[in-house]
A = this chain, B = another copy of it.
Amino acid sequence: MQLSYVIQSNPIQRPTLLHVPPAVRLGEPISAVDTPALLIELNAFEHNVARMQSAVNAAGVALRPHAKAHKTPAISLAQIQAGAVGVCCQKVSEALPFVEAGVRNIHISNEIGSPAKAALLAELARHASTSVCVDHPTQIGWLADAVDAPLDVFVELNTGQDRCGVNDADAVLRLVEKLQTHRQLRFKGLQAYHGKVQHVRSQQERGDIAKRAAERAAAVVVALDARGVRCEVVTGGGTGSLEFDLQGGIYTEVQAGSYVFMDADYARNDYADEWRFEQSLFLASSVMSLGDGSRIVLDAGLKSLAVDTGLPDIWGRPLDYISANDEHGIVTARDGAPHPALGEQLLLVPGHCDPTLNLHDELIAFRDGVVEAIWPIAARGLSR
């Protein structure tokens, strides 16, 4: 059988009245939010933005927060207003809504993987001060073919994560020499990011790994300097390793992103008090079934929450979210705790902020329980 994919032949009544209503309106209490919906608490958010800026200012390091964590231009604009020098994006397509919203200084903290992506990067560079990473001469060739105006290029150094990036100063130098054959490509420095360190629980152990990563970067900077190649910028670091990144003296710019939100995974890390950011990100969910009366079933599962680093916590209630199905969450009450009622709204702390944001189209911003703004997650789904 070959299907022809035609629309059904019965006449279609134009469903002009049939649209998804807004989850909530400005000025309404968050208890009125139709669930599941993603929320940000503004007092915690603003505290986090201010705390981070004051920490980097005190260390004399620039802040270029990662937009991959939130994909929300309104958040980047708040960070830039507070003093951030620009943003990082992980994909070229991800950067476009930020330019549209007025962010004009963007580092693509990743390698581009094809000539088509190099062409889009060239287009981006016509609208914003743009930089990108390389770790292979082929990528340099793609960039050189696509880009005409001057472009800042970072060589990515592997500092222990064993993902992208070359391993040593000689390999960096070979790429710098290749860059120097193209007039429009300017070597700007090193990207040295270690993703795995961010989620190590022990502060001591996190510090040890972060310091070894910084030492690897520092050794390469020195070796390049001895060969007459200056690293103007060393960019890297993250929310989990921040206190060590700022102390190490090697990063001129940090890329932390998750600090604006925190999540259940980051909350499980052991921090000195001053380096613990506040939880601002919540998923509003409701009890949609009690089953036979002994169960608690929420309306939010895998399609509303990323669970790759663990299940969500339930905020301020002696309840445990024990299993995520596609559209359902299974909850149990701790010993003797009262069960929530059918229809009751609960706030969940997502396990992992970045991929959770990527599931939602808007972020409902509230303060003191009242909705103040609704921010489009404009780069949601832009992974090319």
Interface residues of chain A, those whose CB is within 8 Å of chain B, are: 1-8, 10, 12-13, 15, 17-21, 23, 34-37, 46, 49-50, 68, 74, 77-78, 80-82, 90-91, 93, 96, 99-104, 110-114, 116-117, 120, 123-124, 126-127, 135-136, 138-139, 158, 162-167, 171, 195, 286-292, 295, 297, 299-300, 302-304, 306-308, 324-328, 330, 342-343, 352, 354-355, 358-361, 373, 380-384
Complex partner residue of A96 from B20, B46, B80, B91, CB under 8 angstroms: B20
A100 CA to B287 CA in the complex, in Å? 29
Known: A12-B102, A46-B1. Is A163-B18 also a contact (CB below 8 A)? no
Least distance between A109 CB and chain B CB atoms (Å): 10
| Contact partner, A120, options B21, B361, B373, Cβ 8 Å | B21
- Whole-angstrom CA separation of A295 from B167 in the bound complex: 11
Q: Are A15 and B127 also in contact (CB < 8 A) when A96-B20, A302-B355 are?
A: yes
Alpha-carbon distance between A36 and B20 when the two chains are bound, in angstroms: 28
Contacts of A295 in B (CB 8 A): 162-163
A7 touches B77 (CB 8 A): yes
Q: Is the CB of B303 within 8 A of A34?
A: no
Cβ-defined contact, A34 with B384, below 8 A: yes
- Report which of B325, B355, B361 forms a contact with A381, defined as CB distance below 8 A: B361
